[in-house]
């Protein structure tokens, strides 16, 4: 199946071109509601039933014991361990730089205001583990949680056909000091984190990417009063490339996201029709050599090539699409850097593949998809904290702002608000 190509589409066509593969359905919604209801009522028993039916594996004990983690760590070769440690160090450096110090602001004489961060006490991190066990996501979520000071980190990941978790996931969890690790995935894992069961603790906020089922479950959890990081669904990538870009690099970047799964989407925007035609040929050339060809080819069927002749139209399309990952490979990268408004994470230049952000550059790879980059940020240190504001007002300060408060409260017909100030002002005046 050929990649769909659009030549100089009109602005009014952008929204339709930017549509992602449809993943929502009434059947999916009903499934999520049913699983949540059963897990809320029956706890671990429901988890066992759904794990048996969805994952085709029998699990009697969801918690991974320390000895199993130790055994798994011995299966990881030293080269992989060192790569994970390098990535951990870079992610720590980048996220630690996001800490903000306390700054007291005097808004009026005698009136001091400031803001302080407090960690979210209990967080759940969901680690996809099906066809691609994403141990890198353990780093992306647990490292900022630890820096933020979260007291309890609960990790859930779907078991394989033997009922085990990938050794690299367990090694990374141990490296970070996470000891609450559970082999449960999908909708039932999100439900367990939302309500708590006999073995899995309830959390206050759930993080992590996932397929359409996990995304729908997280959105339902939010309706149940549990915070989530963002609506992060199937992976996506947009490359802005002109004729100066290396066509092999662009094709490899498109395929790096296409191999995530059937419902992923990749897009290339260019000002050159010939470049796009040659790019499509190169994509299929590289595609045929991939072990995960079957996943990638279905994602490529959802992909799009868009030719737009001028930069203003290109950036308008990019901001309308609001890509999770945005790669710039042009002879004027600065233009796109200055003008991009909606994107999860931006990768600049021919030697900055999206894979770098997925693993080891230091930025976070848990990012908004499906156009949510118009309103959401990717996971960062602030995702694991709450901001509490403080104020301290002296007698001088209340004399300075009190009369204004009285006038405003009276105008809103809130006499008790006014009185809380007036009674103090009267004391000070007497």
State how far the Cα of 226 lies from the Cα of 221, in Å rounded to an integer. 5
Q: Are 186 and 159 in contact (CB under 8 A)?
A: no
State how far the Cα of 97 lies from the Cα of 362, in Å rounded to an integer. 11
How many residues make up the chain in this entry?
A: 430
Find the Cα–Cα–Cα–Cα dihedral 413, 416, 418, 424, rounded to 10°: 170
- The first and second tokens of residue 12, run together, are 């009014």
Phi, psi of 359 (to 5 degrees): -125, -60
What are the Cα distances from residue 162, in Å, to 8, 55, 57, 128, 165?
A: 51, 10, 7, 16, 9
- The first and second tokens of residue 395, run together, are 């007698």
H or E element at residue 189? helix 186-195
* Catalytic residue list contains 324: yes
State how far the Cα of 53 lies from the Cα of 62, in Å rounded to an integer. 16
State how far the Cα of 425 lies from the Cα of 410, in Å rounded to an integer. 15
Q: Are 230 and 376 in contact (CB under 8 A)?
A: yes
- The first and second tokens of residue 388, run together, are 């509490």
* Catalytic residue list contains 121: no
**48: helix, coil or strand?**
helix
Q: Which of 95, 324, 354, 365 is catalytic?
A: 324
What are the Cα distances from residue 418, in Å, to 107, 381, 392, 427, 429?
A: 21, 39, 19, 14, 16
Q: Which of 95, 260, 325, 365 is catalytic?
A: 325
- 63 DSSP assignment: B
**282: helix, coil or strand?**
helix
Q: Are 29 and 213 in contact (CB under 8 A)?
A: no
Burial call 114-125: b when 16+ CB within 10 Å, e when fewer? eeebebbebbbb
- The first and second tokens of residue 345, run together, are 């994470």
- The first and second tokens of residue 396, run together, are 């001088």
Instruction: Cite the active site residues.
Output: 324-325
């Amino acid at each position: 199946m050929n990649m769909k190509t659009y030549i100089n589409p009109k602005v009014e066509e952008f929204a339709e071109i930017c549509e992602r593969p449809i993943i929502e359905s009434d059947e999916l919604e009903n499934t999520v509601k049913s699983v949540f209801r059963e897990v809320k009522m029956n706890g671990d028993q429901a988890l066992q039933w759904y794990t048996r039916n969805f994952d085709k594996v029998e699990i009697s004990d969801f918690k991974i014991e320390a000895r199993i983690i130790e055994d798994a760590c011995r299966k990881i070769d030293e080269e992989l361990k060192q790569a994970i440690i390098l990535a951990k160090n870079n992610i720590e450096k980048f996220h630690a730089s996001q800490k903000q110090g306390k700054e007291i602001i005097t808004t009026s004489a005698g009136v001091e205001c400031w803001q302080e961060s407090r960690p979210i006490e209990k967080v759940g991190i969901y680690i996809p583990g099906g066809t691609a066990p994403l141990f890198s996501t353990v780093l992306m979520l647990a490292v900022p949680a630890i820096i933020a000071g979260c007291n309890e980190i609960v990790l859930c990941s779907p078991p394989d056909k033997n009922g085990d978790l990938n050794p690299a996931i367990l090694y990374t969890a141990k490296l970070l000091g996470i000891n609450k690790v559970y082999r449960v995935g999908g909708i039932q894992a999100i439900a367990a984190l939302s309500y708590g069961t006999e073995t899995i603790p309830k959390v206050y906020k759930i993080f992590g990417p996932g397929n359409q089922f996990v995304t729908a479950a997280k959105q339902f959890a939010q309706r149940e009063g549990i915070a989530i990081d963002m609506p992060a669904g199937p992976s996506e990538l947009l490359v802005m490339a002109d004729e100066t870009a290396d066509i092999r690099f662009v094709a490899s970047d498109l395929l790096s996201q296409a191999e995530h799964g059937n419902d992923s989407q990749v897009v290339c925007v260019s000002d050159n029709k010939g470049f796009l035609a040659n790019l499509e040929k190169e994509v299929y050339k590289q595609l045929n050599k991939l072990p995960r060809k079957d996943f990638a080819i279905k994602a490529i069927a959802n992909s799009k090539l868009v030719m737009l002749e001028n930069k203003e139209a290109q950036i308008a399309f990019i901001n309308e699409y609001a890509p999770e990952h945005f790669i710039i490979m042009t002879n004027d990268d600065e233009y796109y850097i200055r003008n991009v408004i909606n994107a999860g994470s931006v990768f600049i230049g021919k030697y900055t593949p999206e894979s770098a952000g997925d693993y080891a550059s230091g930025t976070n790879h848990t990012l908004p998809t499906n156009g949510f980059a118009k309103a959401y940020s990717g996971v960062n240190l602030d995702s694991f904290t709450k901001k509490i504001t403080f104020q301290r007002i002296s007698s001088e300060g209340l004399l300075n702002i009190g009369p204004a408060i009285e006038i405003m409260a009276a105008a809103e017909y809130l006499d008790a608000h006014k009185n809380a100030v007036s009674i103090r002002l009267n004391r000070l005046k007497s």
